[in-house]
Amino acid sequence: MLWLAADLRNLPLEALSQEVSQRHADYVVTQSRGSRRWVIASSNPQITAGLDLNLARMRRPHLMAVERQPARELQALETLACAAYGFGDRITFRIDEPAPDFASPRCTLWVEIGTSLKLFGGLDRLLDKIEREFASLEHCASFGVAPTLEAAAALARHGAPPVCSFDELPDALTSLPLAALSLDAGTRDLLADSGLRLTGEVLLLPRKALTQRIGGAAMTYLDRLTGAAPDLLRWYRPPAFFSRWLDFEIEIEDSERLAFPLRRLLGELACYLRARATGVQQFHFEITHARSDGREHPPTRIAMNLSSPSRDEGLILRVTRERLGTVTMPAPARTLSLIAKHFAAPAGSQQDLFDSRARSDEDAAAVIDRLMAKLGTAAIWRPAVVDDHRPEKAWRAMPLDRIPSGENADLNARPALLLRHPQRLQRPPSIIGDVERIAGGWWDEFDLQRDYFCCELDQGARGWAYLDRGDGQLYLHGIWA
């Protein structure tokens, strides 16, 4: 196995909604513990991670500070994991929280690339491609390659050249500084106080004595670093639902301005859809609002319904933008979330390989399913004839899964539309043509005594009416449409 590790140093910064970056040149992401608040990522290279926020503010008075959003960082990692699906199917990621010393969290994503190296035409090309892929999602990472997960991550942090086999690994680890390892701060300080600086020096120590000093957990880590112990991990699988949100550090007043965060979320959705090889037809947005005029506003929910499943980012974006244009926000937006739960593979424009008729019947069934889902099963039916001379009994609404088999009674010409209920005519219409007597039906208690005829309605339209010989009234029963 060969692991590619991406060290995402700026992830806390990149995971944010970017509203800040558009409005402030200098901004930092901070983490707090107790009363202390320190910088974990910064847009300004002069302000380094680990710096206390108050000190940072003394250097740059106009510094904008935003608290870290761990949930959003995980979402960003998930998106990168979906993007990484293009390079290998074993993917995992982890955020190492900063230890008691004040440093940045370490966000690492791993992909197993041993099986796909050949496909991409070698390591250099693969690295190039994945770097561009990440850049298109507005993330930058440094990469490390090694046969073990931890070694790949350590090499990525140190910016060391790739190591493609176990034989080369010990040499590569020898010169690796301890700071690149994922050891907790206490262990690292302990080793540093003993005068150890490089990984190689630590690995040379007698095992038993070392375990006593640094503990079993750190020892297991070192074993996983060298490949002496196996990695027990769960591989990332895209979840069944897609749900992402952006928390705006600065409220957005104008729905026009939502276009940018919208594009970001849809980009993440597209990534997810590609990883799952599926498409989306229905999804919805939710905008939560800030308080304004002294009152709360309910969230604005925008349901999107595409005519067919798609994973075309451009198409989804176009449709959504259009929809967003019609939305007026009652108050500035505080968060924007995108939720998709129903997925279906896009039809695609594939050529018919097999019988097109079979496919078209399948399509027909699929569209009927959709209609029934929305309108109810009873709303979709087939007209069927029944061998009966009484107009009401001569037809039947048949469920679609049954094939109408009735024989048509030998009837005179009938109008194309039949009224659901015969309608009383207020004044006698002018009769056209012959009168047809339809009578009988005592056997099933639907006894008719009617004289049917064609008649003229308003504007020259033709109706089919009858004289009920029971009550002597005239009724309209059909339309010669």
Q: Minimum CB separation from another protein for residue 437, in Å? A: 15
Q: Minimum CB separation from another protein for residue 321, in Å? A: 15
Stretch that binds another protein, among 149-157, 276-284, 288-296, 453-461 (CB under 8 A): 453-461
> Is 454 near another protein (CB under 8 A)?
yes
> Is 459 near another protein (CB under 8 A)?
yes
Q: Return the number of the residue (35 or 351) whose C-beta is nearest another protein.
A: 351
> Is 457 near another protein (CB under 8 A)?
yes
Q: What angle do CA 309, 313, 318 make, to 5 degrees?
A: 90
The mark string for 340-359 relative to another protein (x by CB under 8 A, - otherwise) is -----------------x--
> Is 363 near another protein (CB under 8 A)?
yes
Rounded to the nearest 10°, the torsion over CA 139, 140, 145, 147 is: -30
Q: Minimum CB separation from another protein for residue 104, in Å? A: 50
Number of residues that bind another protein (CB under 8 A): 55
> Is 432 near another protein (CB under 8 A)?
yes
Reported for 36-43, long-range contacts at CB under 8 A and 24+ positions apart, including other chains, are: 36/102, 37/65, 38/102, 39/65, 40/12, 40/68, 40/98, 40/103, 40/104, 40/105, 41/9, 41/10, 41/11, 41/12, 41/13, 41/104, 42/13, 43/13
Reported for 25-29, long-range contacts at CB under 8 A and 24+ positions apart, including other chains, are: 26/60, 26/62, 26/63, 26/64, 27/63, 27/64, 27/65, 27/66, 28/53, 28/56, 28/63, 28/64, 28/65, 28/66, 29/65, 29/66, 29/67, 29/68
Q: Minimum CB separation from another protein for residue 392, in Å? A: 10
Selected from 198, 259, 418, 438, the binder of another protein by CB under 8 A is 418
> Is 420 near another protein (CB under 8 A)?
yes
Q: Which of residues 385-404 bind another protein (CB under 8 A)?
A: 385-386, 394-397, 400, 403-404
* Phi-psi domain of 214 (left: phi exceeds 0; alpha: psi -120 through 50; beta: other): alpha
Q: Minimum CB separation from another protein for residue 432, in Å? A: 7
**Any residues with CB less than 8 A from the CB of 187 and at least 6 apart, and which?**
214, 215, 218
Q: Return the number of the residue (71 or 367) whose C-beta is nearest another protein.
A: 367
Structure tokens at 293: 């005029």
Selected from 361, 399, 424, 439, the binder of another protein by CB under 8 A is 361
Q: Which pairing describes strands 64-67 and 27-33: parallel, antiparallel, or unpaired?
A: parallel
Q: Return the number of the residue (50 or 399) whose C-beta is nearest another protein.
A: 399
Sign of CA dihedral 347, 351, 355, 360: positive
Ramachandran angles phi, psi of 308, nearest 5°: -150, 155
In terms of Cα–Cα distance, which of 244, 289, 238 is closest to 265?
244
Q: Minimum CB separation from another protein for residue 350, in Å? A: 13
> Is 381 near another protein (CB under 8 A)?
yes
Q: Cα(430)–Cα(418) distance, rounded to whole angstroms?
A: 19
Q: Return the number of the residue (250 or 371) whose C-beta is nearest another protein.
A: 371
Q: Which of residues 76-95 bind another protein (CB under 8 A)?
A: none
> Is 109 near another protein (CB under 8 A)?
no
Reported for 232-236, long-range contacts at CB under 8 A and 24+ positions apart, including other chains, are: 233/92, 233/149, 234/92, 235/89, 235/90, 235/91, 235/92, 236/78, 236/81, 236/91, 236/92, 236/93
Selected from 137, 210, 384, 438, the binder of another protein by CB under 8 A is 384
The mark string for 251-290 relative to another protein (x by CB under 8 A, - otherwise) is ----------------------------------------
Q: Which of residues 115-144 bind another protein (CB under 8 A)?
A: none
Structure tokens at 169: 């690994």
Q: Minimum CB separation from another protein for residue 415, in Å? A: 6
In terms of Cα–Cα distance, which of 320, 305, 307, 303 is closest to 266?
320
> Is 474 near another protein (CB under 8 A)?
no
Q: Cα(146)–Cα(123) distance, rounded to whole angstroms?
A: 12
Q: Minimum CB separation from another protein for residue 377, in Å? A: 11
The mark string for 308-327 relative to another protein (x by CB under 8 A, - otherwise) is x-------------------
> Is 431 near another protein (CB under 8 A)?
no
Decide if 41 contacts 20 (C-beta within 8 A).
no
Stretch that binds another protein, among 21-29, 154-162, 271-279, 379-387 (CB under 8 A): 379-387
Site of interaction with another protein (CB under 8 A) = 307-308, 357, 360-361, 363-364, 366-368, 370-371, 374-375, 378-386, 394-397, 400, 403-404, 408-409, 411, 413-420, 432-433, 454, 457-463, 478-481
